[in-house]
């Protein structure tokens, strides 16, 4: 049996979950792996508040150097979050030759290159399973289980708050604002929800998956990011009538080394497996050239689910320490999967367009005429009956170029016969 | 860069898929991992038939000792299948100190203990991701990604042939026999389909998952196994009306060290994620005490998907060779998760019961009276209208004991008012 001395920095929600998991299942983990996890230090500025779990006597400290500079600590678990002190802690741990486990997607998305360079110098491991998809072992799947594959497409539901809001809107036929307020009251959304609902958190996770898949640490710049504030109940209902659900997706697609990277709401088929990922759950759908379609599903956040991934990483680090095999799976290894990022205007996809058209003869001809001039072919048109002076019109298109669609939407929006700015969402068929 | 010399035994469907994958993606794998996979030998009795892929010059051989006893071979890939020579090859490789990658579930289910004992002696690795769930990295998820969890429940759709047949029956409103014949014609079912449709293949895979979860290599004996021959189109339709689908499930559940192990058709909610796993796809749904519900989905068989898992195992072995860390993840490690197997009669679950009742007053009272005497509480009753002398009656129960249900079914079957043996399927609510 080999002991591994764990130093945790950050005794918040996830930190408490990790302590609880190790106390409950430490003996089982030791039986399974031959490695006994020992909670040696838990560092936080606040060591008095009740977290519902009590770390071993003597482990709590307000002095982070008792973790970072303590020769007895085998692995540093960074659960502070953010990109300020967390970054300093991670770099200091690596400089001291200590392996790091982190759940910090913002840090990796923004500063991954610097951190991996430091890890390279130190030859200490960096593991970050909990940074994407909470408890779902999707990073392990991507870089170990699917290592034999050219990864052609990754489509993820990666933010539980957004998926919860969209699911509730659909189930309760409620507006975005109303559901957001309820979610905030229930603790499923932050007081300032912009990090989640504007797609930033999803993009942080998506860039990690994209980087692992295509061998270049991309950061946030290449990502086109839209959130879910523009999704209305009306669109959710119309989409449902047409056999679709609206989800906030992270989409990473590769063709011949050209990679699309985008985060936006999209219609996906109700019949698709990803379409059944509801509430706070996350899922990562992956298409590889050899394995075909696969999917990984589970809780994307929360004290316990995240702890499951953090402890799995601790065990991976400990297995490496035990067998002296650090860098067995490198924290990040550049490779040649990547040639260029496809600019957003160049992508082609299918579209859902909703217009508020004045109920006059010839409007449909005007609209479809503009679409035709932009080489956008129409798959279906639904005009809703109403007793209002303007009628909702829903158009689904075949594959079309994004720049053509944006140009067409501008022209359609300027028509006197169109009563409000056109609403447009992309469609992902997942086939 | 480290070369790993691969010796493949068995150049059949999966063997050809592995060769094809390595030829196509070997350079990418090398970039990702620092390990260059080299196809050194491919042994088969038939080295002349066209497999649609050509191994490197000089690698094909009819002499298995060129793989097993060749000092240049770093890893032996056993793709012969079955429990005859395959077992001898695996044991000989291990005796020679060579790590083994195998996709052979029948071998592991039947002879796992012997093989792991040999591996223990040799300290060579044995990896077998492809033995369960084809290309889905579910074994890696179970013993690495979810290592922090007490695994409370594993429910799997593990046989693509059965899932294809049940999906087609539902979609085409066709009988079992008709769909089976079509599946055989299309190559989705064997000429002798009993291995698949009687649940044996599912049980082979289920016992591997159960063993990893609960730390004892169980073999086949503890499993209760029923296949899908008894599933009729009528039951599929009635189940659908009640909001359920019928799937062949592998069910492994633990409570306080007591483990249920069973393979049988069951009703699962249409709304569940597992309910949407259609056609030849497989999925493993896992509930852990820390992670909560997770699911892993993909193709469960076939040349390419299986090759994806085999090559991932080859890379894992090669990483261990490179960093001299064999047994980093032991082939199998007993632990104390297990206390006893729950005999089938002791399980409790919900039930779907279909009766063919003569259309006379008092029949329902007789049937429900018997159920009541066996402490079986009724959740719903549906009596179908018909112009036949006997009417179908469908009863869903609350939780009840299996031995009580079996006793009640015997008594109901003996009633003069019941025209055919009662049909009964279990219900899994997956909550």
Q: How far is CA A54 from the centre of its chain?
A: 31
Residues B33, A294: C-beta atoms closer than 8 Å: no
Rounded to whole angstroms, how far apart are CA atoms A380 and A397?
7
Report pLDDT for B88: 98
Query: Residue B372 in 3-state DSSP?
Result: helix
Mean pLDDT of B340-352: 97
Pairing of strands A348-358, A423-427: antiparallel
Is the four-CA dihedral B294, B298, B301, B305 of positive or negative sign?
negative
Q: A367 and A393 in contact (C-beta within 8 Å)? A: yes
- Summarised one tens digit per residue, pLDDT across range A389-421 is 889 999 999 999 999 999 999 999 999 999 899
Helix ranges, B187-325 (H): 194-197, 200-214, 233-241, 303-322
Is the pLDDT reported for residue A273 higher than 80?
yes
Strand order in the sheet with A126-127: A60-61, A35-43, A2-9, A75-78, A100-102, A126-127
> A342: which DSSP letter?
P
Residues B143, A336: C-beta atoms closer than 8 Å: no
Write the burial class of residue B154 (CB in 10 Å: 0-12 exposed, 13-18 middle, 19+ buried).
buried
Report pLDDT for A128: 98
| Residue with the larger pLDDT of the pair A359 and B164 | B164
Report pLDDT for A199: 98
Instruction: Estimate the crossing angle of helix A402-414 against helix A363-373, to 10 degrees.
Output: 150
Q: How many CB atoms lie within 10 A of CB A31?
A: 17
As a whole number of angstroms, the longest Cα–Cα distance in chain B is: 81
Report pLDDT for B312: 98
Q: A50 and A26 in contact (C-beta within 8 Å)? A: no
> B418: which DSSP letter?
B
Rounded to whole angstroms, how far apart are CA atoms B414 and B304?
51
HSE at residue A128, side-chain half, CA atoms within 13 A, is: 26
Closest alpha carbon to A189 in A275, A280, A250:
A280
Rounded to whole angstroms, how far apart are CA atoms A93 and A118?
10
Q: A337 and A331 in contact (C-beta within 8 Å)? A: no
Residues A137, B143: C-beta atoms closer than 8 Å: no
- Summarised one tens digit per residue, pLDDT across range B62-109 is 999 999 999 999 999 999 999 999 999 999 999 999 999 999 999 999
Residues of A in contact with B304 (CB under 8 A): 290-292
Is the pLDDT reported for residue B359 higher than 90?
no
Instruction: Tell me the CA distances in angstroms from B339 to B255, B256, B336, one per residue in order.
Output: 10, 8, 8
User: Under CATH, domain A2-135+303-322 is a member of which superfamily?
Assistant: NAD(P)-binding Rossmann-like Domain (3.40.50.720)
Domain ranges of chain A: 2-135+303-322, 140-297, 347-427
* Domain range A347-427, CATH class: alpha beta
Look at chain B and count its residues.
431
Mean pLDDT of B105-126: 95
Rounded to whole angstroms, how far apart are CA atoms B198 and B200?
6
Report pLDDT for A134: 95
Residues A295, B297: C-beta atoms closer than 8 Å: yes
CATH T-level fold of A140-297: Dihydrodipicolinate Reductase; domain 2 (3.30.360)
Is residue B296 less than 8 Å (CB to CB) from chain A?
yes
Is the four-CA dihedral B143, B149, B150, B153 of positive or negative sign?
negative
Report pLDDT for B419: 86
Q: B226 and B264 in contact (C-beta within 8 Å)? A: yes
Q: Which residue has the tokens 């085999």?
A: B310
- Summarised one tens digit per residue, pLDDT across range B216-263 is 999 999 999 999 999 999 999 999 999 999 999 999 999 888 999 999
User: What chain A residue is nearest to B296 in terms of C-alpha separation?
Assistant: A296
- Summarised one tens digit per residue, pLDDT across range A181-203 is 999 998 888 999 999 999 999 99
Query: Residue B238 in 3-state DSSP?
Result: helix
- Summarised one tens digit per residue, pLDDT across range A122-139 is 989 999 999 999 999 999
Please, what is the Cα angle at A115 between A113 and A120, to 5 degrees? 90
Report pLDDT for A419: 86
Rounded to whole angstroms, how far apart are CA atoms B248 and B392?
23
Report pLDDT for A172: 96
Is residue B427 less than 8 Å (CB to CB) from chain A?
no
Q: Which of B290, B293, B296, B300 to mutate to test the interface with A (most CBs of A within 10 A)?
A: B290
Q: Which positions 112-171 of B are in contact with A (Cβ < 8 Å)?
A: 129, 135-137, 140-141, 143-150
Instruction: Tell me the CA distances in angstroms from A143 to A208, A302, B268, B324, B367, one per residue in order.
Output: 12, 24, 33, 20, 56
Residues A298, B297: C-beta atoms closer than 8 Å: no
Instruction: Tell me the CA distances in angstroms from A115 to A73, A95, A209, B5, one per residue in order.
Output: 20, 11, 17, 34
The number of helices, as runs of H, and strands, as runs of E, in chain A is: 13, 18
User: Which of A150, A276, A315 faces B25 most closely, judged by CB atoms?
Assistant: A150
Pairing of strands B75-78, B2-9: parallel
Rounded to whole angstroms, how far apart are CA atoms B204 and B211?
11
Write the burial class of residue A356 (CB in 10 Å: 0-12 exposed, 13-18 middle, 19+ buried).
middle
Helix ranges, B288-362 (H): 303-322
Q: How many CB atoms lie within 10 A of CB B1?
A: 9
Rounded to whole angstroms, how far apart are CA atoms B313 and B1?
18
Is the pLDDT reported for residue A107 higher than 80?
yes
Q: Which residues touch B330 (CB under 8 Å, ≥6 apart)?
A: A34
- Summarised one tens digit per residue, pLDDT across range A36-63 is 999 999 999 999 999 999 999 999 999 9
Report pLDDT for A399: 98
| Residue with the larger pLDDT of the pair B186 and B318 | B318
Is the four-CA dihedral B194, B259, B294, A244 of positive or negative sign?
positive
Identify the helix (H) or strand (E) that includes residue A424: strand A423-427
Residues B136, A271: C-beta atoms closer than 8 Å: no
Report pLDDT for B347: 97
**Whole-model pTM above 0.95?**
yes
Q: Which of A143, A283, A290 to mutate to test the interface with B (most CBs of B within 10 A)?
A: A290
Residues of A in contact with B145 (CB under 8 A): 129, 136-137, 140-141, 309, 312
Residues A145, B324: C-beta atoms closer than 8 Å: no
Is the pLDDT reported for residue B431 higher than 90?
no
Mean pLDDT of B413-418: 94
Rounded to whole angstroms, how far apart are CA atoms B120 and B241?
53
Is residue B59 less than 8 Å (CB to CB) from chain A?
no
Is the pLDDT reported for residue A336 higher than 80?
no
- The pLDDT confidence band at residue B361, using thresholds 50, 70 and 90, is confident
Q: How many CB atoms lie within 10 A of CB B169?
A: 23
Name the catalytic one among A98, A205, A247, A253: A205
Q: B7 and B40 in contact (C-beta within 8 Å)? A: yes
Q: Which residues touch B428 (CB under 8 Å, ≥6 apart)?
A: B155, B249, B251, B266, B267, B268, B349
**Which of A333-337, B151-155, B330-334 has maximum average pLDDT?**
B151-155
Residues A148, B307: C-beta atoms closer than 8 Å: yes
Q: Which of B21, B129, B294, B309 to mutate to test the interface with A (most CBs of A within 10 A)?
A: B294
Task: Give the tokens for residue B44.
Answer: 């088969």
Mean pLDDT of B288-308: 97
Q: Which positions 243-282 of B are in contact with A (Cβ < 8 Å)?
A: 271, 273, 276-277, 281
Q: Which CATH architecture does the domain made up of B346-427 adopt? A: 2-Layer Sandwich (3.30)
Query: Residue B353 in 3-state DSSP?
Result: strand
Report pLDDT for A141: 98
Residues B335, A292: C-beta atoms closer than 8 Å: no
Dihedral pair phi/psi, residue B192, rounded to 5°: -100, 100
Rounded to whole angstroms, how far apart are CA atoms A108 and A22?
25
Residue A173 region by backbone torsions, left for phi larger than 0, else alpha for psi between -120 and 50, else beta: left
Is the pLDDT reported for residue A378 higher than 90?
yes
Identify the helix (H) or strand (E) that includes residue B156: strand B151-157
Q: Which residues touch A172 (CB under 8 Å, ≥6 apart)?
A: A179
Q: A4 and A318 in contact (C-beta within 8 Å)? A: yes
Q: What percent of chain B has pLDDT over 90?
A: 92
CATH 3.30.360.10 is held by the domain B138-298:
yes
Report pLDDT for A359: 81
Report pLDDT for A214: 95
CA distance A335 to chain B (A): 5
> B150: which DSSP letter?
-
Rounded to whole angstroms, how far apart are CA atoms A419 and A44?
55
Is position A322 annotated as part of the catalytic site?
no
Mean pLDDT of A315-319: 97
Query: Residue A260 in 3-state DSSP?
Result: strand
Name the catalytic one among B98, B105, B140, B205: B205
Pairing of strands B258-269, B224-225: parallel
- Summarised one tens digit per residue, pLDDT across range B153-210 is 999 999 999 999 999 999 999 999 999 999 999 888 999 999 999 999 999 999 999 9
Report pLDDT for B403: 98
- Summarised one tens digit per residue, pLDDT across range A230-262 is 999 999 999 999 999 999 999 999 988 899 999
- The pLDDT confidence band at residue B322, using thresholds 50, 70 and 90, is very high
Residues of A in contact with B322 (CB under 8 A): 328
Rounded to whole angstroms, how far apart are CA atoms A286 and B184?
30
Q: Which CATH architecture does the domain made up of B2-134+303-322 adopt? A: 3-Layer(aba) Sandwich (3.40)
The CA radius of gyration of chain B, in Å to the nearest whole number, is 24
Q: A129 and A273 in contact (C-beta within 8 Å)? A: no
Beta strands in A281-405 (DSSP E): 281-288, 292-299, 340-341, 348-358, 378-383, 390-397, 400-401
* Beta-carbon contacts below 8 Å between A and B: 230
Residues A289, B337: C-beta atoms closer than 8 Å: no
Q: A339 and A367 in contact (C-beta within 8 Å)? A: no
Rounded to whole angstroms, how far apart are CA atoms B15 and A141?
22
Q: Which positions 318-357 of B are in contact with A (Cβ < 8 Å)?
A: 319-320, 322-325, 327-330, 333, 335-337
Dihedral pair phi/psi, residue B354, rounded to 5°: -115, 130
Residues B289, A146: C-beta atoms closer than 8 Å: no
């Amino acid at each position: 049996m080999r002991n591994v001395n764990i130093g945790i920095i950050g005794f918040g929600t996830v930190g408490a979950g990790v302590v609880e998991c190790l106390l409950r299942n430490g003996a089982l983990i030791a039986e399974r792996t031959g490695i006994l996890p020992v909670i040696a230090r838990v560092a936080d500025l606040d060591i008095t508040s009740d977290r519902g779990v009590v770390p071993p006597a003597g482990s709590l400290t307000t002095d982070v150097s008792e973790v970072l500079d303590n020769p007895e600590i085998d692995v540093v678990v960074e659960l502070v979050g953010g990109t300020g002190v967390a970054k300093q802690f991670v770099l200091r741990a690596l400089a001291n030759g200590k392996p790091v486990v982190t759940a910090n997607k913002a840090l990796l998305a923004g500063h991954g290159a610097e951190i991996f360079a430091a890890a390279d110098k130190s030859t200490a491991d960096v593991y970050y399973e909990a940074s994407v998809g909470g408890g779902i072992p999707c990073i392990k799947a991507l870089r170990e289980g699917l290592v034999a594959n050219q990864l052609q497409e990754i489509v993820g539901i990666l933010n539980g708050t957004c998926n919860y809001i969209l699911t509730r809107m659909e189930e309760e036929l409620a507006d975005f604002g109303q559901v957001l307020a309820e979610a905030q009251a229930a603790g499923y959304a932050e007081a300032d929800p912009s990090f989640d609902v504007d797609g930033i958190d999803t993009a942080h996770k998506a860039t990690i998956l994209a980087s692992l898949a295509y061998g270049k640490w991309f950061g946030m710049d290449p990502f086109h990011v839209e959130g879910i504030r523009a999704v209305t109940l009306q669109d959710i209902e119309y989409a449902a009538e047409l056999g679709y659900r609206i989800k906030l997706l992270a989409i990473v697609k590769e063709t011949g080394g050209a990679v699309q990277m985008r985060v936006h709401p999209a219609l996906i088929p109700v019949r698709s497996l990803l379409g059944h990922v509801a509430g706070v759950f996350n899922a990562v759908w992956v298409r590889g050239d050899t394995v075909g379609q696969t999917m990984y599903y589970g809780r994307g956040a929360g004290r316990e689910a995240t702890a499951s991934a953090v402890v799995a990483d601790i065990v991976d680090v400990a297995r490496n320490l035990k067998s002296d095999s650090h860098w067995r799976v490198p924290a990040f290894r550049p490779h040649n999967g990547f040639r260029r990022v496809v600019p957003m205007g160049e992508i082609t996809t299918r579209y859902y367009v909703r217009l508020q058209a004045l109920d006059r003869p010839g409007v449909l001809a005007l609209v479809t005429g503009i679409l035709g001039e932009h080489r956008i072919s129409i798959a279906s048109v639904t005009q809703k009956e109403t007793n209002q002076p303007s009628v909702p019109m829903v158009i689904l298109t075949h594959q079309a170029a994004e720049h053509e669609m944006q140009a067409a939407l501008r022209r359609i929006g300027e028509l006197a016969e169109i009563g409000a700015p056109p609403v447009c969402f992309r469609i992902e068929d997942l086939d």
